[in-house]
Amino acid sequence: MPPIDVGVGLWSMRATAAAPASLPVLYRELQEDARLAEELGLHSLWLSEHHFWYDGWCPSLLVASASALGATSTLHVGTGVFLLPLHEADRLVAAGLALEQLAPGRFELGVGIGYREPEIDGLGIGRRTRGARTEHALDAFGSAWTEGGPRVWIGGIAERSLRRAADRGLSLFLPSSMRLGQLREVIERAREAAAEAGVPLGRIGVLKNAWVTDGSTAEARRMGELIAANTREYAGSWWLLQGQLGFAAPELLDKQMERAIETAIVGPPVSVAESIRELAGIGVDLVVLHVSADFTRPAYRENMRTIATDVLPLLQ
């Protein structure tokens, strides 16, 4: 089997009604979880960014990443994803170099253009400028980081996103709801585009909703229901489905929930390991198992231990 790194995500540092917490507590928990991931031998821990939401979803990924990197010595810390056009490129160049100096080779900068209109409008950024701002930032990275900087991962599967990665030899960070055949097709398209540009494509990463169960049907069903409920909240509140907000398109929202369950990696250790091996077989270099969410607190820590003790050895 080709080697594949296994990371965990997505830490969003939310303070919800079900799990209220202050920022000092959330940062302390992030550091504790980063140290746990490192002790367990996991490759990386990934965070996600959003703005203007009731639960304080982490808006400052560089600060949070620095906190996690400073608490560890070997763990990679990634952003899945950093909303690139919402930030000024020159500040990101300087911050990226600072993080690289703090933790050489351990900061993984996953970026995307964003899709949630209130975030873009709330920061006074024209929606039509997102692509141009993203291109400008990526070019600034390429110019400033010629002698060393964070690895850059491009999130998304749109043709323009794949081209941004392929033309620059950057890495890909692919979304969780893609089926195996779709992932294979996207990876092949990106490799072909990189070959046309005359550069080697970077690494291939994919996020996957995941949970290691005891093997029972009841536990698998319970986790499927929780993943569906989480998808309903997220997609219903934020996603545009055929031009409509998710909650305004219940049939389309139901399909998103079904797809989330279908594409999740849920099962006993042997089954989870087999799913990861399938991803490695189509060229995935890194899988980020999405085990940390509001509905999994605090059980995700035990699941991280199970991944390390019962799944990782099966991948050797």
42 three-class SS: coil
- Which domains does the chain show, CATH number per domain? 5-213+268-315 (3.20.20.30), 226-265 (no CATH)
pLDDT band at 217 (very low <50, low <70, confident <90, very high): very high
Instruction: Please state, rounded to an integer, the average pLDDT across all residues of the chain.
Output: 94
* Residue 46: Cβ within 10 Å count: 29
pLDDT higher than threshold 80 for residue 1: no
The DSSP secondary-structure symbol of 19 reads S
How do strand 82-83 and strand 171-174 relate by DSSP bridges?
unpaired
- Would the pLDDT of 8 be above 80? yes
As a whole number of angstroms, the distance between CA 114 and CA 171 comes to 18
What's the gap between Cα 85 and its chain centre? 17
The radius of gyration of the chain from alpha carbons, rounded to an integer in Å, stands at 19
Q: Is the pLDDT of residue 49 over 80?
A: yes
Is 147 buried (19+), middle (13-18) or exposed (0-12) by CB count in 10 A? exposed
Percent of the chain with pLDDT over 90: 82
The per-residue pLDDT for 54 is 87
- Predicted local distance difference test score (pLDDT) of residue 115: 87
- Residues comprising the chain, all counted: 316
Band of pLDDT at residue 206, cut at 50, 70 and 90? very high
| 3-state DSSP assignment of residue 240 | strand
pLDDT of residue 297: 84
